[in-house]
Each structure stands twice: as structure tokens, then as C-alpha cells.
Structure 1
Amino acid sequence: MKDVAEYRKSLAIRVSGFDDCGFSPQLMSVIAKQAYEKPTPIQCQALPIVLSGRDVIGMAKTGSGKTAAFVLPMIVHIMDERELAKEEGPIGVVCAPTRELAHQIYLETKKFAKSHGIRVSAVCGGMSKLDQFKELKAGCEIVIATPGRLIDMLKADRMFDLGFEPQIRSIVGQIRPDKQTLLFSATMPRKIEKLAREILSDPVRVTVGEVGTANEDITQVVQVIPSDAEKLPWLLEKLPGMIDEGDVLVFASKMATVDEIEAQLAQKGFKVAALHGDKDQASRMETLQKFKSGVYHVLVATDVRPAKEHNHISSWQLNGDIFRWTMKDVAEYRKSLAIRVSGFDDCGFSPQLMSVIAKQAYEKPTPIQCQALPIVLSGRDVIGMAKTGSGKTAAFVLPMIVHIMDERELAKEEGPIGVVCAPTRELAHQIYLETKKFAKSHGIRVSAVYGGMSKLDQFKELKAGCEIVIATPGRLIDMLKADRMFDLGFEPQIRSIVGQIRPDKQTLLFSATMPRKIEKLAREILSDPVRVTVGEVGTANEDITQV
């Protein structure tokens, strides 16, 4: 690669202070406020080259000022572009391998960008994908991201209402063609109906109750409140009476609204907690447990519904549509099978499985189980529609265990045989716990693959082999990709992102280390880069005492 000394000589540029760089007065003011007396060695070497538009590889120890070495020129380049219209951008993209480093770069970048009204968006884990997607769609000049989450955002732009249709297609496309596919739900939006028709093979439709009708076990009372401002006073007035009768769930469509309601109720002395996607999995599960055990009397949530009976549910913001549709009728198919299930002993389950069923205090199959079990056991694809809490999970998990026991025993690192996808991590976790109860009786291994837990641990568990995977589609796709990644690195993600950026881009790679695989990647995606190195690559940081 071209050496920095040779290139700087050809440029005839020497940087000994920030005033040598031609930064705007606004930017110089921010630099002064940050107490930067003079450029660090990596900044002295890199700034003139980056400002010239060349691709650069910058190597220097942690804490040496690498971030400013590429952020300051980025701001200069952005100010030379025309002003972006609404929903345009980004102009600059910064990728970091971890969310912690991405957040650190994000905070540093915002300090400088603010001086010119440049919008900076953070796209990394630990924050709501929906909020990040909306922020990106609104437009920004700079994106600071982890590659995986950025790819999610790029894909999300082509997704159905941020739904999971493309993810399901991706997963189904990687499963053998002679699979059995089951879709169980309490609702059936049109887009999911269309998907079902395409990925299920001549499915039998099992419906308990009328699809789209209200659950007859729930008394629904509509209270028309003239304005948003009057909602909270109404709730505060009614809440004590509701709590006297039982626990209370309050639903809102936005996370910010959830937090606002929780704060207002807590201020009034209510035992209240909030539940939404911005909270990590551990705290969400802890909150649910405390709500179930009575520590909290009120739970304010987005679309997370705990598995418990409640006396009062208040919806703060109503949304959603109800659709009805038809496919092959279950009565016709059951007639052809000549099978009738009135008890679990009609299903031919093993003694071990029957023992677990008895321990769960299941006296007899629920209506959805009576209809679905014989059909699923026959190997047909099934669409099952029944209300929440009707026993849909057991209707597909029990036959899955039977089918798995009919397969040869898996060798180490083989599997899975069965994959269950759920749209939310909460539902996935609920199905995971239910499945483990039954699977344990036959020594069947169940792996959980969804957000809120370590990807690395999940990847290792999958690689070790299992019979059943319970997953959210996005995380499962991450795992499928990870199997082809460099030591769980992010090389394929970077290639994917770079491939979607215009060819006349300027690409900068700044790091404290340079593994061979990353160096190989750099040679391929950077255009004749200048290499800037401060200190000896691979040596210990002299500012750290190692004992």
C-alpha cells in the first residue's frame, strides 16, 4: 500500500495544528471547547490525506484520537455537498464492530456535527429498531452503526410494515423441501395470509371460533374520551377501583407513551412498571415475574402480553385491522382421516409424553388441540386459528416431538429437525418454556434463538446440535449467517453494506489492530488506500501497565 510519508510529500501538506486544516470557525470553536490543544500523531498524519479524498487505513492505539481523524473530514465533505432534502441521506456511514464502540463514536460525532446542524443517527443494538428505522427514513447526514443492525435497517426498508415476511421467506428457503409447515395464530392479516398460501403446501385450515371476532371470555367496554389530554385524568380516577378487582394492564402503541404513563402513575403512588422493546430481556422477564407475583399492580406495555388472567385491560392507543379468509375446511379433512380426538390417549403419545401431559394438569385436549392434533400428526401442513390462551402451542409441539422421535438420533452438531418462529421475543420465550416441558421427557434438546441473550452463546448452542429451535426470525437469520462468518466477525456484513453504497465513495478504516482477514478485506474494498500507522502494530499500549 502507498506509504503515508510518500503521499504527504506529494501533497505538500503538513499539519501541526488544527488551523492548518481549513476547518470552519464553527468547527474550530467546538475543537477548542473539547480542550484539544493540538492534533495527535494519528490526526497529524491522517487529516490532510482524508481531506484530500483518498481512502485511508489508519492504525493507532486505543485513545489516540482516531475518531476525530475521520469525523472532522467527514463533516467538511458533508458541508461541501448540497443540503439534503427530507428523507435523504446518509452521506457518511461509520461502522463499528460493537454497539459500545458505535455508541462512543456516535457521542463524539454529535459533538462536532452539532456545530453545522448535521444530523447523526445511531443504528446499533440495545435500542428500538422501529425508532431507528423511522429516524433513518426521516433523513440524516451521518449514520453510526454496527453492521448487523444496519443491514436490518436496509432490509427493513423493503419489509411489510416492519413485519417479518422476508425473514420467514429467507428461513423457509433454507429448509429441505419435504418439510411440514404449521402456522398457528389468533389473527390472520392479509399479508400473512398471502405468505401462508405461498409457503404452505395445500394446508388444512383449523379454526376454533370465528376469526376476527372478539374473545367471548373478555368483556370489552369502549370508553370514548374526547381528547388525549383527558385520558390520564380518566385513568387516574378509574384505576383504584380496577386494582381492587385485580391487576391492570395498560397498552400504548409507542414506547415513549408507555414511559410517560408509567412515570405519571408512579408519581401518584401506584405500584407500576413499564414493558417495551427498549428494555433488555432480563429486565423484561423480571418485570413480568414481579407483575405476576403481585409486586406491581399495574403494567404499562406496548404489545407484550404476559401469560396471566387480568381483570382490567386499558388500551391507550387503538390500532390494527381484522381480516377474515378461507382455505380447506378442517371438517372435510378430518372426515377423510376418519380420526377423532376426544382425549390425549387417542393420539398415540408415548408413556413419557402422557406422563408430562398429566403433570401439566391437562385434563383433556382443548378445541384447537382436538381438531389440529390428528392432522398435524398425519404430516399435513396446517393453519390453526384460535384465541390467545387456547392451547395452540401444545397443538404443534406435541406432534413435533412425535415426529422427532420417529427420526434417527442426531449426531453431534446436527439438527435442528423442528423450527418454531414467533414474531416477538416474549412469545418465543413463552413457547420455549412450554416446549422444554414436553421435550425433556425424551431427552430432546431445545435451543432458544431470540434477542436479549448473547448471540455468541446461542450460536455455540446451535453448532453443538439440537432437535428443536424456538426463534424470532431476525435472530435466526443472524445465526444462519453467522455460520458463514469469520470467527463470528463482521466481514460479510461489511461487504453487504459496501455493496449498497455508490462506487465513488471514500472508505476509511481506522483500528488499533489489523487481523489478517480484515487486512485482506481492506485490500479488496478500499481503493488504493494510504496506510497511516502510529506506533508499532501489535505491540502493547505503553500507557497500560500489564502485570
Structure 2
Amino acid sequence: MTEFKSLGLSETTLAALAAKGYTTATPIQAQSIPSLLQGRDLLGIAQTGTGKTAAFMLPSIDRLIASGKRAQPRGCRMLVLAPTRELASQIAQSARDYSKGSRLTVATVFGGTSIHKNKTDLARGVDIVVATPGRLVDLIDQCYAILLGIEILVLDEADQMMDLGFIHALKRIVRELPSKRQTLFFSATMPKTIRDLANQFIHEPVEVKVTPVATTAERVEQFVTHVNQAEKQSLLTIKLRDESIDRALIFTRTKHGADRVVKLLAASGIAANAIHGNKSQPQRERALGEFRSGKVKLLVATDIAARGIDVSGVSHVFNFELPNVPEQYVHRIGRTARAGATGIAFSFCADDERTYLRDIERLTRQKVTAVALPEDFVAESARIKSTRGPVTISRDEMNGRNGRTMQDRNAHHRHNSQSQRGPRANPAGGDRRNGEQRGDRPQGDRQARPEGQRATLGASFGAREGGERPQGDQPRFYGPRKKKWAPRPANGGQRGGARG
């Protein structure tokens, strides 16, 4: 057991830790803090919940205080990049807690919030900025963020940022940074692609590993039940009636799936909130706040939220749908068994998900215990379905995205039905689809137009077909066919005749 006071932290930082009741460092904190206080780069391999936020924030705060510099307008001194808004918000709150007693300022920069406020915060300069890559790139492009004064760069959950497609944004941001800086790189997994990325950012780093790569939390009991996809909702409803559940996270693969689970639970009298990328920032904050306070003890989430939810007291994790990326399973169940507690992870595996289960067991190097369906599952499932009643799903939830309205789709289907019934009647006579024209328009070949009609245009096309530019011609433009040569009209260059 290593105490914080033996790691060389300042009295101000130790006082802030004592105010939160922290006296003993976790393994990653004990291994990282002394090297970071010396200004070394660091490559940290650790799962969420191991205390890595304090591992990089505590020594960084001490270094910022000791340097005595001030942030330049539109700039910052320490930049922390995180993959999700929730994680960025939590890191920023930790920075505020750990820097109490100092004059360091902290700001967040991420989507879903007022970009005007981001500009205002950066305008006067900030000591610590916690950001998601996308919004920060927007501010850089608009010249509202200048990163030349960065002293410390932190990339947290780098593997998740790669999964979410932030690689180009990261490279864009790093181009704006000074070459002389301290860089800290953290990831829960370390495949070759992540290590190659780390080598681009860090120089002769100290490497810290607190758990074997891609292993799951030892204090999490893991179970799997093989069940048909259509029966998962009933099984989840039965499981959630367990009174031992303090707080539970339920993971789905899609946003639509998360919303549907919440609605079906509500129809069975079970309160739950959903959190995913289609929710507005106020909705996400409200759902997470009610979950953290215990007002609503069930939170249904997609994998984008798996890295950004740091809530103590999560006793159960339910994988309603197994992730198709096995590393995500590690991050999902890592939401429980935090701060020394134990946890339980239940997974529901349909026939088409057995491959995902095998990949997970291969990655974690352990077998997930199979549990049979409850003995009264069939009768209980039938009772749940009979009492639940109809559930209406909105258009966005059915599509899983913003698409056409139901009225648009109905109109489309009506149009197709009409097309299949046969030709539409033409009020002017004739069947337009068989080549007949509306009204008294001339029939047959286009050359049957009245004499002189479109003569000028016809001459122009004729001139083109000749392949040579007539002498004295001027350039004329006809829609998308640009820079084609045609003779000047006979009326002195004015557009007249049939074209007028």
C-alpha cells in the first residue's frame, strides 16, 4: 500500500486529496506519479476504474503550479483529449476537485454545448482544457483555439478514439502543438495500431501496465444465457426484478435498440433511462445525473457511453446484445466492480451471436459461465407479454436515425401500388408512358416543330458537330456544357428568335 504523501506531491494537492478522503494510491498512481513529476512521457495500459485520471491529473497540476506560467489568450497550458462527452466532463470535474486551493482554471470543450461559451472560455486563456477532438478541431479552424503554449498533452482512452474515427482529428490537433511538451498516452488495450499511434506522439516514455492487456476485472462474476432474440426482453424484465440490484447498466449495440428496451421496460412498470449519441447533451446529462443519484437505477447505453460512465455502486451489467468487437465487452463489464467492490455481468446470447461470444472468451482467456433460463421463464414470459400491452415506437426509433417520416413512406408505398396497378389516366388523353403527349403538343419527331423554332440553338449544335471552331465566333455557354463554341446569332448577338 502506497500513500500519496510518499510520492512527492505538493502540500496543496495532498490537501485536496485529503478533502476527498483519498490517502492511498492505486497501483497505476504509485507507478506513474513519480515519473510524471520528473516531466517524463508516459505510456499507460490500464482499464477504466483503475484510477488513471488521478494518475495523470495530480502530477500535472503540481507541474503547472510550479512553472508559474499563465495561459495565453485563446490558449491553454494542459490539454486532455477524451473520446466521449461524459468522460470529458468527468475528467474536468476531477481536475477542479484536485486543483482546489490553487488558481488553476478548467474548461470543457465538446459538442452538444454552446460553442460561443467555448470561445468565451478560451478567449481569456485557460490552464486546463478537457476536450473531445471534433469540437476542438472546429475551434482551431476558426482560430479561436491556439495550442502553441501547451505544456502537457494527455490522450485518454486512445483505443476508443481510434474506434470512433478520431484519428485524423488527432493528427490535425498534434500538428498545432509545440514539439517540446510532456505527452501522456493511455489506453485500455494495446494492439499494434494503437502502439503505432502512440509512437507518433510520445518520446522515450515510461511504460506502465497495471493489468494484462484485454483481461477482465477479476472481481466481476460473468454469466451468459443462451436465448432467442425475441425472448431477450422478457428475460431482462425477469432479471431486473432481482432486489439485490443497486444500479445496473444495460448495453445494446444500437441507439434504436436502447430506446426500444427503455420503452418496453416502462410498459412493464420498470423505470429506465437511455443514453446514446442521438440524445441531446441536456438529455444525456439528465439521464446520467438521475442514474448517479439513484433516482433511476437502470441506465440503457450504447458502447459510446461505455468509456464515459464512472458511477460508483453499479452492481450489475447486462449485455442485452453482445458486442461485435470483443474489446468492447471488457469496457462494458468494467463499469462494475469499481473501487474494490464486486460486480455481476449477465450476457444474453442469441444464436447469431455465438461467434461474438467465442471471440470474447478467446480475448479474455476465460470461459463465461453458462446459466440456463429460469424454470418458470415460459409462463412468466407469457404473463409479461400479456400485461405489457402495445408499445409505440417513434419514427426515429424505428429507423435508428433521422430519416423519412411515416407519411413519406406511406406516400411512397401508395405510388408503388399505383404503378403496379397499371398506367395512370391522362386527363388530356393518351397514355404518357406509351409515348403519347399531353394536350395539343405536336406528335412525332422533334424536327416537326414550327419552322425557325430553336433555329439559333440548332445552328449552335450543328457547328459543334463539325468539330471546328468557325472564324470570328465568340464563346457561348449552355448549362452544364461549358466552353463550347457556337456562331453569334444573326440578330447582332442578342438572344432572340424562338429562344427569347
Same fold (TM over 0.5): no
With CA pairs under 8 Å and 6+ residues apart, which has the higher RCO, 1 or 2?
Answer: 1
With structure 2 as the length reference, what TM-score do the two structures score?
Answer: 0.40
Of structures 1 and 2, the larger Rg is shown by 2
With structure 1 as the length reference, what TM-score do the two structures score?
Answer: 0.36
